[in-house]
Amino acid sequence: MSKTVYLITPPFTQLNTPYPATAYLKGFLNTKEISAFQSDLGIEVTLALFSRQGLQQLFNKINTEPPAAISENAARIVALQDDYINTIDAVISFLQGKNPTIAHLIVKCDYLPEASRFAQLDDLDWAFGSMGNQDRAKHLATMYLEDLSDLIMECVDPHFGFSRYAEKLSRSANSFDELYESLRAPYTFVDHLLINLLQQHMEAVQPQLVCISVPFPGNLYAGLRCGQFIKQHFPQAKIAMGGGFPNTELRSLSDARVFEFIDFITLDDGEAPVENLIQYIQGNKTQEELKRTFLLQDGKVAYINNTSCHDYKQSQVGTPDYSDLLLNDYISAIEVVNPMHSLWSDGRWNKLTMAHGCYWGKCTFCDISLDYIRVYEPVAAAMLVDRMETIIAQTGQTGFHFVDEAAPPALMRAVALEIIKRKLNVSWWTNIRFEKSFTRDLCVLLKASGCIAVSGGLEVASDRLLGLIQKGITVAQVARVNRHFTEAGIMVHAYLMYGFPTQTAQETIDSLEMVRQMFQAGILQSAFWHQFTMTAHSPVGLEPAKFQVQKETEHTGNFANNDIMHIDPTGADHETFAYGLKKSLLNYMHGACFDYPLSKWFEFKVPKTSIAPDYITKALMEEEPGTVKPTSKVVFLGKQPSIEIVTKSKKGNTWETASITFQSKKEAVNIKVDPPQGNWLAGMLKELDINNGKVYTLQQVKESYEAAGLEDFELFWDNKPVNSLYKLGLLKL
């Protein structure tokens, strides 16, 4: 099975779906007829560890080499080791979707051994609400795995964690020293599992080039462990590293020791750099022709970027290829019992990108100076849906997560229309900006195409700070957009931020009050608080004085350089708010404690909120600025109605009315209008049918109405009978 390139995702990213970087690269290499094999060592190590044999080895190690001190919790798990060994295969099979009936055993709560993670489940009915047996069992099985994870961290490998392996060693480590020492230490228990799997793949693939994708700090240690082993045992193979971590953290790398483990580091989009590396290794290009690549020259780190070599357009990079990956073996977990929150860990999602970069590109906390965000390039809707169809045929999975920085509303509209025209049955979700383009009608269209959820940055729910962030939104606008999504049946997750430069305690509490009101109004289903971090490539990091903050230290390290410690002389003591913000949010996501005073969440005195208790309710009642223009497209997604002219009489007077009946999936809906308008509307709906080739603007619809000799178009079109048809698919976009 010899291949030119072997693409690796090292442990650990996600357990429910493959991280897409290697699939993207393999899709590109296919277009160049370069043979490649890929593996997600994260899921492979997890399955080796969480198996009967894996747990037997784990407990044998703990029993024969017990730690000097052991917690009461770890001692309990060790005492119950037979119960863990006897249930692990059944639990993993269940979480892979292969053994659904065992859910009935799991939810009885006398099947799985329980340690400290289960302590948070005192009131299952409150935690789960109306969650079904399958999801309830998934959550309990997730707690069971987390208990085992705690044991592994305490007794055999302090770096272990399902999605953050050895993250502490690499998160913005200015110095490579600590990581270097760890890599020179003997293999840990988890390292042995990793290297055994890697060896099997290397012997089978025999690649010329190994590409290790390191998207997060938590992948770096395992990625370098892989490189170390390959250099020792497969010296004929060259090793390159790329991905999100090098792209953000290693742009000023100068420590030559890193190249004891790998040969090259590439930055930003990987297609052109990897293609050039392959040609260089094969002797068809010189070193000077490499693109955005670090390597060693005369014992020193050198960076080569052949600017005459251009990056590929998104239309040229091919369709992501998920072959080789163990698509049926990924594990669906539910860590947080919230339907929107669980999307990140539950279900196998095909990952795709609507557009390269961010169309907004102004947020002052974001790395907007880097090409992966700065260079915006959308993909044509038809090509994107072609790629979706190709991936569905390959994987058998119809769920998609578009992993955009922020999906553009106009492109989302075009993709939704294309999905509906092709009658594709898909479910999808993506990241957005909460901007006013997401009208009521657009949200209905997105839902009709299979959109189930969106996530977006509300950040600090304060108009002053949103202005500083240059988010281009207001809290009231976010509330109205969220209502459109929610009423269309699309779940909404908000990324929240605290600790932005100059943010006061008052603004933090007011921000929490805004979030409380949104949850109470039912227009927000899920959220997560992040503490602001100054990064080297963001406007705040590049010009701190402009935001009234100071860098605590200038980066002088020769390794990672992204997160910057900073001093905020005018802001609050942000760290102290972390626990209260997260605890309150967990309750709000469960629909609880809306009547608690905000001060109850904090163990120190906080200011009273200055936000009116009905702020969000009033914002939702405000008249929205007109978003429907004469150039807006008008489409009809529903089934063609039947029309009947009915004669009515009252007190001796008779008149005719047009009775138009629409059949939706749930019910029949009837509207009554004057016969001339009714006949015109029935004919116009055939023209507006989405399956027709011609697209009408609102102006053209109005001209057709007037050409039929009818008067007062706006009065007819915006009146209740016709205006209510958006629920049946008559949309102004």
Residues 344-392: pLDDT tens digits? 777 789 988 887 767 566 665 466 566 656 666 677 889 999 999 999 9
Dist CA 682 CA 698 (whole Å): 16
Residues 579-609: pLDDT tens digits? 999 899 888 988 889 999 999 999 989 999 9
Higher-confidence residue of 272 and 136: namely 272
Characterize 626-651 residue by residue with b for buried, 16 or more Cβ atoms within 10 angstroms of its Cβ, and e for exposed.
eeeeeebbbbbbbeebebeeeeeeee
What is the 8-class DSSP label of residue 542? H
Mean pLDDT over 209-237 rounds to 94
Dist CA 581 CA 224 (whole Å): 36
Number of helices (H), then strands (E), belonging to the chain: the values are 28, 25
Residues 65-99: pLDDT tens digits? 988 889 999 999 999 999 999 999 999 999 999 98
Pairing relationship of beta strands 526-531 and 550-551 according to DSSP bridges: unpaired
State residue 521's pLDDT score.
Answer: 94
On the question of pLDDT at 128 being above 60, the answer is no
**Cβ 517 vs Cβ 478: under 8 Å:** no
State residue 518's pLDDT score.
Answer: 92
State residue 372's pLDDT score.
Answer: 56
Across 89-98, 533-542, 667-676, least confident range = 533-542
Dist CA 525 CA 504 (whole Å): 27
Domain ranges of the chain: 5-312, 336-621, 633-732
Q: Which amino acid is at 319?
A: T
pTM for the model = 0.85
Question: Which position has the token pair 């044998």?
Answer: 60
State residue 50's pLDDT score.
Answer: 96
Residues 688-697: pLDDT tens digits? 998 887 888 9
Dist CA 642 CA 395 (whole Å): 41
Across 168-172, 274-278, 522-526, 602-606, least confident range = 168-172
Residue 476: pLDDT band by 50, 70, 90 thresholds? confident
Residue 261: count of CB within 10 angstroms of its CB? 21
Residue 542: pLDDT band by 50, 70, 90 thresholds? low
Beta bridge partners of 356: 377
Residues 379-415: pLDDT tens digits? 788 999 999 999 999 999 999 999 888 888 889 999 9
State residue 364's pLDDT score.
Answer: 59
On the question of pLDDT at 527 being above 80, the answer is yes
Residues 721-733: pLDDT tens digits? 888 888 888 899 8
Across 227-241, 499-513, 534-548, 648-662, least confident range = 534-548
Phi-psi region of 71 (alpha: psi -120 to 50; beta: other; left: phi over 0): beta
Q: Which CATH superfamily is domain 336-621 in?
A: tm_1862 like domain (3.80.30.20)
**Cβ 395 vs Cβ 350: under 8 Å:** yes
On the question of pLDDT at 544 being above 70, the answer is no
User: Residues of the chain with pLDDT > 90: what percent?
Assistant: 48
State residue 216's pLDDT score.
Answer: 87
DSSP for 391-416 reads HHHHH---EEEE--SS--HHHHHHHH
Dist CA 181 CA 711 (whole Å): 82
DSSP for 136-147 reads HHHHHHHHHHHH
Across 140-154, 375-389, 675-689, least confident range = 375-389
Residues 700-720: pLDDT tens digits? 989 998 888 888 888 888 888
State residue 314's pLDDT score.
Answer: 85
**Cβ 153 vs Cβ 124: under 8 Å:** no
Across 18-22, 160-164, 252-256, 489-493, least confident range = 160-164
Q: For residue 203, what are the contacts with CB-CB under 8 A and spacing of at least 6?
A: none
On the question of pLDDT at 488 being above 90, the answer is yes
On the question of pLDDT at 165 being above 70, the answer is no
On the question of pLDDT at 261 being above 90, the answer is yes
Give residue 492's Cα distance to chain centre. Answer: 12
State residue 86's pLDDT score.
Answer: 96
State residue 10's pLDDT score.
Answer: 95
**Cβ 387 vs Cβ 320: under 8 Å:** yes
State residue 362's pLDDT score.
Answer: 61
State residue 528's pLDDT score.
Answer: 87
Residues 12-46: pLDDT tens digits? 888 888 999 999 999 999 999 999 999 999 999 99
Q: What is the mean pLDDT of the chain?
A: 86
